[in-house]
Amino acid sequence: MGGHADEREHVRVAVVGSGFGGLGAAVRLRREGVTDFVVLERADSVGGTWRDNEYPGCACDVPSHLYSFSFAPNPDWPRTFSGQPHIRAYLEHVADTFGLRPHLRLNTEVEMMRWDAEALRWEIETSKGGFTADVVVSATGPLSDPKTPEVPGLAGFPGKVFHSARWDHDYDLRGKRVAMIGTGASAIQIVPAIAPDVERLTLFQRTPPWVMPRTDRAISAGERWLHRQLPFTRAARRSLLWGIRELQVGAFTKHPNRLGLIESLAKANMARSIKDPALRAKLTPSYRIGCKRILLSSEYYPALARPNVDLVASGLKEIRGSVLVAADGTETEVDAIVFGTGFHVTDMPIADRVVGVEGRTLAEEWKDGMQSLRGATAAGFPNWMTIIGPNTGLGNSSMILMIESQLNYLADYVRQLGLLTPGGRGGADGRTALAARPSAVHAWNRRVQERMKRTVWNTGGCTSWYLDANGRNTTVWPGTTGEFRRETRRVDLAEYEVLRGRGVGVGSAAAEVPAEVPVEAVIVEAVTAGTLTVGAEEGAA
């Protein structure tokens, strides 16, 4: 801990993480007139998963004009699907354009966050000292901590080992015998990118993925000119990309049998490149398309047809020296192992570092499965909100749409806190907190899980990172992005208990609230928008 309470910097909001979620939250807070906040980031630059994942071939499966903030449009996207360097540069640009640099605390890893029930604020220990905050926005993301399986013998492997999200660019793969473990979205981009360079590539496939072609192309200078000169053309393009995906959702959530047609297209895609029937059989999934994320690549199958690429249709069982032994007994000697084995999604490590009321961690609260209220708040963790929380993931569209819905919720949360705070300063000041009612959390999750029963993710006959250790789907949103937008437009105070503190330590905090916060404007806006319903406060308190 950084030392004495009064030595710690107090802020109204501490945002954890500076990927799309964290930077988006920072922009939104500023727009709401909240300037007294920090963004805590463990790395030395912004970008989140788009900073960490710099493996060869890393790119996004959602078109560029939809995979970007609506409030920060980029008419100059060079390709229909962006590569990682462009998305990372975009996020750096967002940090500059919206004046976020002064809020960033880089190389600052959150070690522990504890709710102080007396002072009604969060105590945050970081690698660079302590902070206190009225509100915490946890934007650490589900694809943040890499997962490497505990394969017997791995510690004794004499060669090079790394995870797709921690690529070692100093290691030269040329002329090496390389094993790629996994066939998820990361692995199928890495395989075609490195196959031409390595001497031999052996791909360990535990479960074959469904792969559809990816129609990536350069966006012409003419299109870009048009998007710059006539912004409605860019907006129309985004709307079209969004609308097509909204129409697809029903097949995933209500009518998985309709996805059979897509399976035929995916099989035809495979047949174009894979002429060997035995290899085709190994590559053909036995579960409904969409159950796992549908992968997009026009280069994956051609790469598998290369003479220097082998497919082992079996998981990795153990390692004996430099020999990899598959579950089916196949033995392969290699110089390097690349794990494309995904992330800690349903068991995210940050949950061990958040301690709520009665000293319980979020991981303990979520031991039987992650649960939140509207994907944002959790019972027992007042004034704590997460971006891309439980059941906010998507199978077929842009996560930026979901993040922006959550930013609406965050904005209203901060507004409502301000209105509830005695002396109304347009924001929290350590005297008021909102605590999600357990009954509201349960009601929300019952609804979500009821809808989940018919979805392809639960009925499609596969296992995936969407499901937790108990087989419960706590990651995906079982509806359209439009529905989620409507569900998160406002904070319903009936779903929260309003906690009143005794004003411990508010003196300095209140003094730091910047004068430019237009309190009256916020109140008028909230009242006219109908967010302040008379009686709700009494009912909730």
Q: What residues make contact with ligand NAP under the rule CB under 6 A? A: 59-61, 143, 149, 164, 181-187, 189, 204, 206-207, 293, 315-316, 340-343, 465
Give yes or no for a contact between 52 and 163, defined as CB atoms under 8 angstroms apart. no
Strand partners, 83: 59
Q: Which is nearer to ligand NAP, 381 or 465 (CB)?
A: 465
- CB of 204 vs ligand NAP, minimal distance in Å: 5
Q: How far is the CB of 518 from ligand NAP (least distance, A)?
A: 39
CB atoms within 10 A of CB 470: 10
Q: Is the dihedral of CA 400, 475, 343, 460 positive or negative?
A: negative
Closer by beta carbon to ligand NAP, 60 or else 309: 60
Find all residues with CB under 8 Å of 320, minimum gap 6, and list them. 153
Q: Closest CB to ligand NAP belongs to which residue?
A: 184
| Residue 333 C-beta: closest distance to ligand NAP, Å | 18
At 137, is the secondary structure helix, strand, or coil? strand
In whole angstroms, the minimum distance from the beta carbon of 183 to ligand NAP comes to 4
Q: How far is the CB of 272 from ligand NAP (least distance, A)?
A: 20
- Of 324 and 355, CB closest to ligand NAP: 324
Beta bridge partners of 333: 323
Q: Which residue, 187 or 517, is less far from ligand NAP as judged by CB?
A: 187
Whether residue 281 contacts residue 250, with contact meaning beta carbons closer than 8 Å, is answered with no
Q: CA 468: distance to chain centroid?
A: 16
Residue 184 or 382: the one with the smaller Cβ distance to ligand NAP is: 184
Task: List C-alpha distances in Å: 325 to 5, 160, 202, 281.
Answer: 54, 17, 12, 22
Return d(Cα 443, Cα 374) in angstroms, integer: 10
Give the residue carrying structure tokens 């730091």: 512
Question: Nearest approach, Cβ of 406 to ligand NAP (angstroms)?
Answer: 17
| The residue type at 368 | D
Nearest-approach distance from CB 186 to ligand NAP, in angstroms: 3
Please, which residue, 110 or 181, has the CB nearer to ligand NAP? Answer: 181
Report the residue number, 143 or 441, with the smaller CB distance to ligand NAP.
143
Please say which residue, 121 or 293, places its beta carbon nearer to ligand NAP. 293
CB of 74 to ligand NAP, least distance (A): 18
Q: How many helices (H) and strands (E) does the chain have?
A: 17, 20
Spatial neighbors of 54 by CB under 8 A, at least 6 apart, are: 84, 85, 88, 167, 169
Q: What are the distances in angstroms from CA 140 to CA 47, 128, 359, 410? A: 11, 18, 21, 15
Asked whether the beta carbons of 138 and 354 are under 8 A apart, the reply is yes
